Amino acid sequence: MATDKSFNPFRMAQAQFDKIADVIGLDVGARKLLREPLREYHFAIPVRMDDGSIEVFRGFRVQHNDARGPCKGGIRFHPQETIDTVRALSMWMTWKCAVADIPLGGGKGGVICDPHNLSNREQEAICRAYIRRISRDIGPVADVPAPDVMTSSQHMLWMLDEYEAIHDGHYPGLITGKPVGLGGSKGRTQATGYGVVYTLREALRELEIRPENTRASVQGFGNVSQYAIELYNQMGGRTVCVSCWDQEDQTSYSFRRQDGVDLQELRGITDRFGGIDKQKARDLGYEVLPGEAWLDQEVEILLPAALENQITEENVQHIKPSVKVIAEGANGPTTPEADQVIHERRIFMIPDFLANAGGVTCSYFEQVQSNMNYYWEMDEVLGKLDMKMTSAFMAVSNLARRNKLYMRDSAYVVAIDRVATACRDRGWV
């Protein structure tokens, strides 16, 4: 979410698109179509507040492209939500679904509100009113929302319930992020972190490096990071450093143990926001270092899995020569300037929308299961996830090798080419 007023995420998304459109010589018609969303909805959400007054919130749903299948993307609640943020995120969803090769397009939604200042009843009222405004334009075969920043499975269930009341039937395929047992998929919690490591495993194979001969340093200790560490450690790798945000001190710290961090032990001293207790960590033999220290460790693998804008022009030089692979678990952790340096240093980059596509892939599995009303066991979900992530990685890395492209550019080329082809084959452009 951009708080810097001069930063426009949609202009950035369009600039990225233009660059790749030039690389692949995309025709003018496809360019015009793909630079902008297909459709967008802006609406008022009037809600009676707990004190009896009426508040009118603004809601958006943007459908960037659905040539490959129904739109897919979260609905976020945020006080600084802007239409351009939602447009950018919907475009990125189109590329993410395409690179993962799932039959879905890109969408995104948002409401300008701050859930911190809203009661549960007020939030429920916003969810239900949001669906009443948009229920004709979304649905299992049109546009499938999901949770995002400050929305949870509870918000998804309120939205589903309202949709089902309007359409008079059960449509669990309307929305994803539902709890297991009420239309959710097993494996969703693990999916993003495991997905990162499936792509990392393939990158190491390509570089002919054995996972057991590698060490990793990780930024973040939340959902993505913890499951990435779990699978990476199972593969034989050694995680030597993790970092997290400290709520009390309002700064971040890194926690290092050269013989490897013990995931269970660290989880035991971590709060639900992914913050590790410093004193308990020291007692367990961890060195507590400044927040930035995760980046300058003598390791083979870096996993930024916290937030955007973390590897920048100012700190990219701290990356040690030992680093061979960066797998971006977070969205947008590397700035374009730092990316250029990483490219020149020939560090193998697994870009965010490929590396962290495990989440949306499992959401797609949730939708498939919901539509057929038959739910898979964990092994089946994770097996299918591994297959999808591995083939997504192969398509991108094969093209990168063949055309001597940087991995991030290659991922964009694969994604944009797939979407443009679908638009062309349908006779749209």
Q: What token pair was written down for 124?
A: 């429920």
The smaller minimum CB distance to ligand NAD, of residues 229 and 399, is found at 229
307 near ligand NAD, rule: CB under 6 A:
yes
Q: How far apart are CA 413 and CA 3, in angstroms?
A: 30
Q: Give the residue, chosen from 69, 184, 274, 351, that forms a contact with ligand NAD under the rule CB under 6 A.
A: 274
Q: How far is the CB of 307 from ligand NAD (least distance, A)?
A: 5
Candidates 107, 147, 211, 275: give the one binding ligand NAD (CB under 6 A). Answer: 275
**Parallel, antiparallel or unpaired: strands 287-290 and 251-256:** antiparallel
In DSSP terms, 334 is beta-bridged to 311
CA angle 336, 340, 342 (to 5 degrees): 110
Binding flags for ligand NAD, 277-296, as an x/- string (CB under 6 A): --------------x-----
Give the number of other CB atoms < 10 A from CB of residue 314.
11
Find the shortest distance in angstroms from Cβ 363 to ligand NAD: 9
Give every strand in the sheet of 287-290, ordered side by side.
287-290, 251-256, 238-246, 215-219, 301-304, 325-327, 348-350
Tokens standing for residue 198: 């499936």
**Number of amino acids touching ligand NAD (CB under 6 A):** 23
Chain positions 196 to 235 lying near ligand NAD, rule: CB under 6 A, are 219-225
φ and ψ of 186, to 5 deg = -60, 150
C-beta nearest to ligand NAD: residue: 222
Which residues have CB under 8 Å from 161's CB, separation 6+?
128
Based on CB atoms, which residue is closest to ligand NAD, 94 or 225?
225
Q: Which structure tokens are listed for 404?
A: 């001597």
Q: Catalytic positions, please?
A: 108
Asked whether position 184 contacts ligand NAD by CB under 6 A, the answer is no
Token pair, residue 247, equals 């709520």
Q: How far is the CB of 283 from ligand NAD (least distance, A)?
A: 20
Q: How far does the chain reach from its first CA to its final CA, in angstroms?
A: 33
- The answer to whether 306 contacts ligand NAD (rule: CB under 6 A) is yes
Closer CB to ligand NAD, residue 17 or residue 255? 255
Contact window for ligand NAD (CB under 6 A) among 8-16, 40-48, 108-116, 325-333: 325-333
Q: Which is nearer to ligand NAD, 122 or 148 (CB)?
A: 148
Closest CB to ligand NAD among 109 and 125?
109
The two tokens of residue 206 are: 């390509």
Per CB under 6 A, which region of 57-65, 201-209, 243-251, 342-350 contacts ligand NAD? 243-251
Single out the residue of 130, 163, 198, 245 in contact with ligand NAD (rule: CB under 6 A).
245
Paired tokens of 215: 């060490």
The nearest distance, CB 366 to ligand NAD, in angstroms, is 12
Smallest gap from residue 309 Cβ to ligand NAD (A): 10
**Backbone dihedral region of 139: left (phi > 0), alpha (psi from -120 to 50 degrees) or beta?**
left
Among 152, 154, 312, 331, binds ligand NAD (CB under 6 A): 331
Pattern 20-59, ligand NAD, x by CB under 6 A = ----------------------------------------
Cα–Cα distance, 376 to 387 (Å, whole number): 16
Cβ 268 to ligand NAD shortest distance, Å = 15
* Closest C-alpha to 371, from 142, 147, 154: 142
Report the alpha-carbon distance of residue 2 to residue 405 in Å, rounded. 30
Contact of 9 with 86, CB cutoff 8 Å: no
The amino acid at 70: P
User: Closest CB to ligand NAD among 37 and 275?
Assistant: 275
Q: Which of 16, 65, 90, 192 binds ligand NAD (CB under 6 A)?
A: 192
- List residues binding ligand NAD (CB under 6 A): 192, 219-225, 243-245, 252, 274-275, 291, 305-307, 329-331, 356, 359
